[in-house]
Amino acid sequence: MDKKGQIAIFVIVALVIVGVILVIFAYPQIKNIVAPSEISPSQYLKDCISPEVKGAVDILAKQGGDENPVGYINYLNVKVKYLCYASGYYKTCSIQQPMLLSHFSDELERILTPKINTCARNLIAEYERRGFSVSSSAISSNVSLGSGNIKIEFIAPMTITQAETTRTFDKFDVSIESGIYDLLSIATSIVDYEATYGDSETTLYMQYYPNLKIEKIKLEDGVKIYKLTDVVTNESFAFATRSLVWPAGYGL
């Protein structure tokens, strides 16, 4: 072996040694980038549940707040629930769905419960995968609507232990941005007008709420579909009413 060949081998060996040293020094950081040992449980759960929440809200919002509505009108192949209805003519409608906000959040919770459980179990599994010891008990949840957000309480008590560090959680709060609460509040007010006066003046609502667009679509036989849209976020809520209907002619 000539001298040049020996030098090349030495250089390669030196480079390998330096590389290994660098990897050893850099390893914790690399490890943290690839799979951080610290998880933010709330963020993990939020990332897990968010797409499901948006999907569920979309379904409920199109159908007047029910996943499987009864007492509905079929409009463009969507079952839109009547929130207020009067059969016959010349009568203001009777409320069909009071407590709309509570009902919507109950429906949302019912739809989301399986996914909430899955997300919580996935969190436990993720901790265990990273070498933590996790002891947990039964998982439950609570979904509530607020102005500008949907709050999900993951009631999943767990104790996470690694080496000598132990962390205990009772629950995790996740807040997902959504304007559905405000749309439902306006819908409740419109329904109240329909029940009291037989109609509502949408222009006033739109002037009062600058980001709100209300479409009042009149169908046959006095049926109305209201579609409330937040023009900034594009979130919407639709529902149907039939109130104070005037027949053709005298309606005899």
Contacts of residue 162, defined as CB under 8 A and 6 or more positions apart, other chains included, come to 131, 132, 133
Residue 242 β-bridge partners: 85, 223
**Out of 95, 134, 155, 176, which residue is the one contacting another protein (CB under 8 A)?**
95
Structure token pair of residue 203: 């222009």
Q: Which of residues 142-161 bind another protein (CB under 8 A)?
A: 146-147
Piece in contact with another protein (CB under 8 A), picked from 41-49, 121-129, 133-141, 193-201 = 193-201
Q: Is residue 126 left, alpha or beta, with left meaning phi > 0 and alpha meaning psi from -120 to 50?
A: alpha
| Residue closer to another protein, measured from CB, 111 or 190 | 190
Q: How far apart are CA 232 and CA 212, in angstroms?
A: 8
Piece in contact with another protein (CB under 8 A), picked from 114-122, 123-131, 158-166, 183-191 = 183-191
Asked if 192 interacts with another protein (CB under 8 A), we say yes
Q: How many CB atoms lie within 10 A of CB 220?
A: 6
**Out of 72, 127, 154, 239, which residue is the one contacting another protein (CB under 8 A)?**
72
Question: In Å, what is the CA distance from 61 to each residue of 3, 16, 80, 226, 247?
Answer: 79, 61, 9, 11, 30
Contact code string over 103-142 relative to another protein, x by CB under 8 A: x---------------------------------------
**Residue numbers of the site for another protein (CB under 8 A)?**
69-72, 82, 84-88, 91-99, 101-103, 146-147, 185, 188, 191-192, 195-196, 199, 201-203, 206-207, 210-211, 213-218, 220, 222, 231-232, 245-252
